[in-house]
Amino acid sequence: MSVPAPLYLSLSAVLFTLGTVGVLVRRSALIVFMSVELMLNAVNLSLVTFARLRGGVDGQVVVFFVLVVAAAEVVIGLAIIVNIFRTRDTVDVDDVDLLRG
Amino acid sequence: MEAVLFAITAVLGIAGGVGVIAARQPVHSALGLLLALLSLAVDYLLLDAQFVAVLQVIVYAGAIVVLFVFIIMLLRATGDAPRARTAVPPAAASVLGAVLAAALLTAALTVRTGPGGVGAEYGTVQQVGRALFGPYALPFEAASIVLVVGMIGAVALGKRAQVIAVARTHAAPGVRAPAPDAPAGRVAAGGAGERER
């Protein structure tokens, strides 16, 4: 491990922050969704780094489960976005406020 | 050598991440996401996680990004509406982002590193597979249930979308032209379609 682990963790931190800012700033549901994927990937990088630090493979198994859940989440989420677009002709998250009190 | 590779992938990954949140066209965001995901795959290889790297390329870069591109194509999605480009004011978002980044980076840079030596077969498909089918067998089965539920959910939502589309075509006042794939009986019935709903 010639690159020290804190550098990987820093890259992970930067990517996670970028994803958070994307979720806060963008209004297109698709882009918000992509930002969430970015955050998931940042966490995956942390998990792989910690697994490497400990010398165990458990972190990589957790990454596998994150991948599975992310795949299912993308399928369902994109189906919901398509449904919203068909009923309301927009994917803008500010326009979908039916549950607002 | 590894340091150079890491520097390249870090720069590309951050560039891809910035591309995701800054691009005006959704397709450019998807390409930025692809860039970030592929750089992360190289990072996984540097961390001796070959199996995860391959999964990253196949599942994320292959399946998920392609799905995103398909949906962008399907929705003819343009970027954010012009009336206001951002949900949260960019200044507030950058302050929040800076605070979060500072906290995470502090934690990342103060982590205690161990000895860090691993055997040659660390991270191979065999080793991960042995863990996956040994101590993690039950979560693995649960993961398959999650995937089945995802599949069923997508089919159910897709069916619902079809019903909504047909209903809207019939609900539009003065429009008698049905959807091309609507059953012929509705065409003949004319206004009866509206009673059916």
- Residue B123 located in a structural domain: no
Say which range, B50-54, B121-125, B145-149, B164-168, has the weakest mean pLDDT.
B164-168
Cα B110 from Cα B98, distance rounded (Å): 18
Between the alpha carbon of residue B128 and those of residues A59, B40, B50, B123, the distances in Å are 10, 19, 10, 6
Q: What is the mean pLDDT of residues B33-56?
A: 93
Report the alpha-carbon distance of residue A25 to residue A18 in Å, rounded. Answer: 10
Q: Which of B81, B109, B19 is nearest to A18 (CA)?
A: B19
Q: Is residue B61 domain-resident?
A: yes
For residue A55, tell me if it sits in a domain: yes
pLDDT tens digit at each of 101 positions of chain A: 678 888 999 999 999 999 999 999 888 889 999 999 999 999 999 999 999 888 888 889 999 999 999 999 999 999 988 888 888 877 888 777 777 76
pLDDT band, very low/low/confident/very high, at B182 (cuts 50, 70, 90): very low
Query: Which CATH number belongs to the domain containing residue B73 in this structure?
Result: 1.20.120.1200
Domain holding B51, by residue range, is: 1-78
Q: Is the dihedral of CA B94, B96, B100, B103 positive or negative?
A: positive
> Given pLDDT bands bounded at 50, 70 and 90, which one contains residue B77?
low
Residue A28's DSSP bridge partners are A92
Instruction: Give B149-154's long-range contacts (Cβ < 8 A, gap of 24+).
Output: B149/A72, B150/A71, B150/A72, B150/A73, B150/A75, B150/A76, B151/A75, B153/A75, B153/A76, B153/A79, B154/A75, B154/A76, B154/A79
The pLDDT confidence band at residue B190, using thresholds 50, 70 and 90, is very low
Q: What is the DSSP string of B23-61?
A: -SSHHHHHHHHHHHHHHHHHHHHHTT-HHHHHHIIIIII
Radius of gyration of chain B (CA): 25
Is residue B103 in some structural domain?
no
**And the tokens for B160?**
């619902």
Whether residue B119 is predicted with pLDDT greater than 80 in this model: the reply is: no
Average pLDDT of chain B, as a whole number:
81
Q: What whole-number distance in Å separates Cα of residue B89 and Cα of residue B1?
A: 42
**What is the ipTM, given to two decimal places?**
0.92
Interchain CB distance below 8 Å, A63 and B52: yes
Domain assignment present for B98: no
B36 pLDDT above the threshold of 90: yes
- What is the rounded CA–CA span in Å between residue B60 and residue A37? 9
Cβ of residue B63 closer than 8 Å to a chain A Cβ: yes
Q: Rounded to a whole number, what is the distance in Å from the CA of A83 to chain B's nearest CA?
A: 5
With respect to residue B4, please indicate whether it lies within any of the assigned structural domains: yes
Residue A97 lies in a domain: no
Residues of chain B with pLDDT > 90, as a percent, come to 41
Nearest to B47 among A48, A65, A70 (CB): A48
Would an 8 Å CB–CB cutoff place B100 in contact with chain A? Answer: yes
Q: Please identify, among B58, B78, B98, the residue that sits at the C-terminal boundary of a domain.
A: B78
Give the structural domain span for A12.
5-89
Query: How does residue B181 score in pLDDT terms, banded at 50, 70 and 90?
Result: low
Asked if residue B150 lies in contact with residue A72, where contact means CB atoms within 8 angstroms, the answer is yes
| Domain-embedded: residue B173 | yes
For range B83-107, the mean pLDDT? 82
Q: Which residue of B has its CA nearest to A87?
A: B164
Using CB atoms, which residue from B17, B113, B158 is nearest to A15? B17
Query: What is the pLDDT confidence band of residue B116, given thresholds at 50, 70 and 90?
Result: low
Angle, nearest 10°, between helix axes B26-46 and A5-25? 160
Q: Which residues of B touch A86 (CB under 8 A)?
A: 161, 164-165, 168
Q: Is residue A59 part of a domain?
A: yes
Chain A: residue nearest B95 by CA? A21
How far apart, in whole angstroms, are the C-alpha atoms of residue A39 and residue B20? 12
Total domains, chain A = 1
Q: Can you read off the two tokens belonging to residue B181? A: 């794939």
In a domain, A51, yes or no: yes
Facing residues of A92 across strands? A28
CB A47 within 8 A of CB A63: yes
Q: What is the dihedral of CA B44, B46, B50, B52, to 10 degrees?
A: -10
Whichever domain contains A73, its CATH number is 1.10.287.3510
Number of compact structural domains in chain B: 2
Which residues of chain A lie closer than 8 angstroms to B117, CB-CB? 55
For residues A31 and B80, give the distance between their C-alpha atoms in angstroms, rounded to a whole number. Answer: 9
pTM of the model: 0.82
As a whole number, mean pLDDT of residues B179-184 equals 50
